[in-house]
Amino acid sequence: MKKAVFVFLLINLCFSSVFGQLNVQHNLLRAGDLLFKQQVEYVDPGEAGADRLWNFSKLKAINDEYTVEYDLPPLEGDSVYILGNRRHEKNSVKENELIIGTEHNTMYYYHQTEDCLLQNGHENPSVVLSYTSPLTLLCFPLNYGDKVSSAYKSKGLYSGTVDIRTEGTVTVAADAYGKMILPSKDTLGLVVRVKTQQTIFDVQTESSDSIEAENVGKLLETHRWYSKGYRYPIFETIRSINKSDSSVIFSTAFFFPPQDHYYLDTDSANLALLEELWDMENHAKSSGQDEALELRDLLICKTYPNPVKSILNIEYELPRDATVSFRLYSVAGLPVKTTVPVKKPKGRHYETIDCSSLQPQDYVLRIMANDMFVNEIIIKN
């Protein structure tokens, strides 16, 4: 194990305990920002909780041509902003208070208050929809464990002729935090997940059929993963579910490669945050240099066979006494096999993990010695 790996792990351990919330300064939408995202295979977002590990490293790209663009709404006569079916006097609107987001040939209308991100409607060639009671997307600050719920109502037209009326509730919660292995194979710490659940019930109108089945509604469930120093999500899963039988209507996922967050060039708030994290990393490296030199040889480990069919062998050597344990995580970040931490004397040791009952897929083996750990991908055949 190399020195750089141990230093990186030390820093991640220190940072994870001081992970901050989503806030107005670092996470509000900004006019002029352009994001690139890749549509990837849908993956189960996993359970809520602390210190989760999300392994998205094996997801295959389906379409990498998607963009998300945020702009100010158009002006009418240089004095009035037009945001969907609403008009706002320009001199009464703050900077970035009104935003239009464009993706998938759809324009989304956002209104940002001092502490909330609201959606007033959306529009595409097929549907024009406005929320008579705005849809709450985020409230700031948002810490792990926070949850906010609100009701909404909407009305609109499909194909210019068919009335649409819906109502429901939306619940937003920061329900998990941990680390994420990206499709690019990079690992990000300081990740918080925001879960949004929107219930959608059709409201009967005069043009609706008076005899209709019970309106059991749908559930739109979205998970977004945010990393400190980035204004927008890094990963996103979306699925729509029939509330009557829990069947999935559709599901998809998107990866926003960090290197394609070009808005950072002009995002002074997040650039300063990234520089602060970088300074902390450099300080940890310099102040802990002697310790890192000792830690680089703390654990020399070999796992085999990989891919594994039944028994995974772990052979490791300790140059000094250490408390050692192993955990095997599923792709959703749930522990499936664990060993009890045991203090081992210096020397060569062996451990086995029975993988015969596991489903064929990729797993993450976390190798822990004292307060240090490193992850390794294990393939189950």
pLDDT 10s digits, 103-128: 989 999 999 998 899 999 999 999 99
Distances (CA, A) of 1 to 185, 269, 274: 18, 35, 27
The one-character DSSP state at 371 is T
Q: Which amino acid is at 182?
A: L
Model confidence, pTM = 0.72
Q: Is the pLDDT of residue 101 over 90?
A: yes
**Taking Cα atoms as reference points, which of 98, 41, 91 lies closest to residue 70?**
98
Q: Is residue 293 part of a domain?
A: no
What string of DSSP letters covers 308-346?
BSSEEEEEEEESS-EEEEEEEE-TTS-EEEE---EEE-S
Comparing 19-33, 48-62, 129-143, 320-334, the range with the smallest average pLDDT is 320-334
Residues 142 and 216 in one domain: yes
Q: Is residue 80 part of a domain?
A: yes
Residues 244 and 306 in one domain: no
Q: Is residue 291 part of a domain?
A: no
Q: Give the structural domain span for 62.
A: 3-277
Of 277, 309, 337, which residue constitutes the final position of a domain?
277
CATH number of residue 337's parent domain: 2.60.40.1930
Comparing 40-44, 218-222, 339-343, the range with the smallest average pLDDT is 339-343
**What CA–CA distance (Å, rounded) separates 187 from 147?**
27
| Position 319 confidence tier, pLDDT thresholds 50, 70, 90 | confident
pLDDT in tens, 259-311: 888 888 899 888 888 777 776 666 555 554 444 434 345 677 889 998 899 99
Within 41-139, strands assigned E span: 49-55, 61-71, 75-76, 80-83, 86-89, 98-103, 106-112, 116-123, 127-139
Residues 49 and 172 in one domain: yes
Residues 272 and 303 in one domain: no
**What CA–CA distance (Å, rounded) separates 256 from 57?**
13
Q: Are 238 and 229 in contact (CB under 8 A)?
A: no
Six token digits for residue 200: 């959608």
**What CA–CA distance (Å, rounded) separates 172 from 198?**
9
Residues 256 and 339 in one domain: no
pLDDT in tens, 349-359: 999 999 999 98
Q: Domain count of the chain?
A: 2
